[in-house]
Structure 1
Amino acid sequence: MRHLSTVDRLIQGISFVSQTKIDTDAEDLLFEYHPEYDQTLSAADKQTAGRLMRVNHCGEICAQGLYFGQALGGYQQHIIDEMNQSAQEEKDHFNWCLKRLEQLHSQPSRLAAIWYMSSVCIGYTVARCGDKHSLGFLEETERQVSEHLIEYLNYLPEDDLNSRLIMEKMYADEVGHSEKARQLGARRLSMLESVTMKITAWVMKAICY
């Protein structure tokens, strides 16, 4: 098997996040779809749910970029392995969101490659500050994503049970990732760093919505 260079893996990552339909191989990993749930949704409900899921999908694009950048800039191999493992787990979230967008007749963000590359740069820069700092960034990212999902679950149309099931599972996974980073020795970020991350996320959500 040919060893992929960093550039090869970067191109592979861009190709993955830019897809508008999930791979056939990923179909078996999807949530069970209940079409009867969607029959009760109004056009306005579907539009709202589609916008929320587009933001969630964009967040998963950013997660792929951040983890790639952090693995690329990491120092200790077990931390690098952890970043790669987390990225692999987040691919499920990416596929769930992408498929749900299709079911809602909505579209993913057209800026996927830009979100991904920006996140790679951020992830790499953070990783070069040291593994504990990188883990702290991971912990804070997952904590903020968890808060975001709780907020969006409240915004989600009450009858959209298909989207709700996906987002609730994503929430549970994000909490787990945050706890794992803490156990690996994450260093708490400064208030300035946390606020900057929130502002950046707010800009992304505003554009994608």
Structure 2
Amino acid sequence: MAFPDRIISEFDHTLRALAGVHEAARPNPADEIVEAELDEKERAHAAGLMRVNHVGEVCAQALYQGQAITARDPQARAALEQAAGEEQDHLAWSAERIRELDGRTSLLNPLWYAGSFVMGAAAGALGDRWNLAFLAETERQVEEHLSGHLQKLPAEDRRTRALVEVMRADEAKHRDTALGLGAAELPAPVKLAMRLASKVMTTLSYRL
């Protein structure tokens, strides 16, 4: 794809991510699961956790876009684009579940998207090994984060739990793919900075 066409495509992708109009390519893992009878507090809590997850998927779209634009190796770019496609499923599933729980998506999504795109492009500019390293560490931290959500969600909320379990499995696969393609090991201070940034994002997006 020519560079101008790629820019137009990425701009369209951005608008779709922020507007929440993505459609999942795969069936929703919760489609066959009966809705649990949750009280108002449980529904609000589950909606808040899924809002955090939705923000994570908005950020993932931006990260992958930024990384794919600057990736040099076609194999690395293809891996990023495939992962981005699966993350689009997560984005659609999360938005749908938030609506089912009578919640809303984060008011700060444009901010999260812009910051993540810049970080993704910067990682890609450092070269493919560091690009993949950033991807691997991001997915590792997201996997941990989703595991934490499975502990916090109401046990009877099987619909939300089914989504989170599939999302977690996908994140682990993306991490393994990045490592298999030769990802470098990020320095400890960079990992810590990523973890702190994630903490700020999750805390704010649970409420906003």
Shared fold by TM > 0.5? Answer: yes
Cα separation, 2, equivalents of 1:45 and 1:31:
21
1:15 aligns with 2:15: yes
Q: What is the CA deviation profile of residues 120-177 of structure 1, one whole-angstrom value per residue up to 9, with x for unaligned ones?
A: 1100001111100111111100000000001111111111110000001111111111
Report the CA distance shift for 1:185/1:155 in structure 2 as closer, same or farther (over 3 A): same
Q: What does 1:72-151 correspond to in 2, within 5 Å?
A: 72-151=69-148
Cα separation, 2, equivalents of 1:99 and 1:146:
21
1:31 aligns with 2:29: yes
Q: What is the CA deviation profile of residues 40-86 of structure 1, one whole-angstrom value per residue up to 9, with x for unaligned ones?
A: 21111000000000000000000000000001111111111111111
Q: What is the deviation of 1:17?
A: 1.4
Find the residue that maps to 1:5 and give its secondary structure: helix
State the identity %: 33
Q: What is the deviation of 1:22?
A: 5.2
Match of 1:204 among 197, 201, 205: 201
Q: What is the CA deviation profile of residues 90-113 of structure 1, one whole-angstrom value per residue up to 9, with x for unaligned ones?
A: 111111101000110100012222
2:149 — aligned with what? 152
1:164 aligns with 2:183: no
Cα separation, 2, equivalents of 1:99 and 1:31:
12
Match of 1:174 among 167, 171, 175: 171
Which moved further from structure 2: 28-37 or 80-89? 28-37
> Is the contact made by 1:140 and 1:178 (CA closer than 8 Å) also made in structure 2?
yes
Q: What is the deviation of 1:34?
A: 5.2
Report the CA distance shift for 1:27/1:47 in structure 2 as closer, same or farther (over 3 A): farther
Q: What is the deviation of 1:11?
A: 2.3
> Is the contact made by 1:17 and 1:112 (CA closer than 8 Å) also made in structure 2?
no
Cα separation, 2, equivalents of 1:2 and 1:143:
33
Once superposed, which parts of structure 1, at least 4 consecutive aligned residues long, lie more than 4 Å away? 1-4, 20-23
1:54 — aligned with what? 51
1:188 aligns with 2:188: no
Q: What is the deviation of 1:16?
A: 1.2
Q: How high is the TM-score relative to the length of structure 2?
A: 0.92
Quick one: which amino acid aligns to residue 16 of structure 1? R
Report the CA distance shift for 1:78/1:207 in structure 2 as closer, same or farther (over 3 A): same
> Is the contact made by 1:37 and 1:160 (CA closer than 8 Å) also made in structure 2?
yes
Quick one: which amino acid aligns to residue 27 of structure 2? L
Aligned residues: 206
Report the CA distance shift for 1:22/1:134 in structure 2 as closer, same or farther (over 3 A): closer
Unaligned runs of 5+ in 1: none
Cα separation, 2, equivalents of 1:134 and 1:91:
20
RMSD: 2.0
